[in-house]
């Protein structure tokens, strides 16, 4: 594990040497870091949402997917549906076409809204 940590430090050092060599605007690495953070946060929230849908109630899941012309085996369609919802929450648009069907989902959606507000505040603060 120590060797992996040393490799990570070397990669970080190489990254900054490359940034200095290419004379990149200092804002670009920060923006890239924020975009990566938002992308990973959205992906994790999407995966948690799908897991929550699958674990809470299979019958509701089937109806929820059928209403959107999807099946449980259409993984790419299900992922796109979940990431679509997470994007609407993160951008504070919230169209209302996807909504919570039980208490567990309502709690997760509230957490998601708070997380989105926190990340948006962080984004504004860093830029």
CATH number, domain with residue 31: 1.10.287.70
What integer pLDDT is reported at residue 40 of this predicted model? 92
Give the pLDDT band of residue 46 (cuts 50, 70, 90). very high
Round to the nearest angstrom and report the end-to-end CA distance of the chain.
35
Q: Say what the pTM is.
A: 0.75
**37 lies in a domain?**
yes
Structural domains of the chain, count: 1
What integer pLDDT is reported at residue 43 of this predicted model? 95
Q: What is the mean pLDDT of residues 86-100?
A: 84
**8 lies in a domain?**
no
**76 lies in a domain?**
yes
Give the pLDDT band of residue 5 (cuts 50, 70, 90). low
**54 lies in a domain?**
yes
Give the pLDDT band of residue 84 (cuts 50, 70, 90). very high
**57 lies in a domain?**
yes
**61 lies in a domain?**
yes
Q: Which residue has the higher pLDDT, 98 or 49?
A: 49
Tell the burial category of 53 from Cβ atoms under 10 Å away from its Cβ (0-12, 13-18, 19+): buried
- In this model, does residue 28 exceed pLDDT 90? no
- In this model, does residue 119 exceed pLDDT 80? yes
**11 lies in a domain?**
no
- CA-based nearest residue to 90, from 50, 118, 53, 124: 118
- In this model, does residue 1 exceed pLDDT 70? no
Mean pLDDT across the chain: 84
Burial 54-71 (b: 16+ CB within 10 A, else e): eeeeeeebeebbeeeebe
- In this model, does residue 68 exceed pLDDT 90? no
Domain of residue 60 covers 25-126
Q: What is the mean pLDDT of residues 76-82?
A: 90
**9 lies in a domain?**
no
């Amino acid at each position: 594990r120590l060797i992996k940590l040393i490799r990570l430090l070397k990669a970080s050092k190489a990254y900054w040497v490359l940034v200095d060599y290419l004379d990149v605007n200092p804002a670009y690495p920060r923006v890239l870091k924020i975009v990566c953070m938002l992308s990973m946060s959205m992906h994790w929230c999407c995966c948690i949402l799908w897991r929550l849908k699958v674990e809470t109630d299979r019958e509701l899941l089937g109806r929820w997917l059928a209403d959107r012309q999807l099946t449980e085996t259409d993984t790419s369609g299900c992922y796109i549906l979940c990431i679509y919802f997470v994007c609407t929450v993160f951008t504070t648009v919230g169209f209302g076409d996807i909504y919570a069907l039980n208490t567990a989902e309502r709690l997760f959606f509230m957490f998601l809204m708070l997380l989105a507000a926190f990340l948006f505040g962080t984004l504004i603060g860093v830029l």
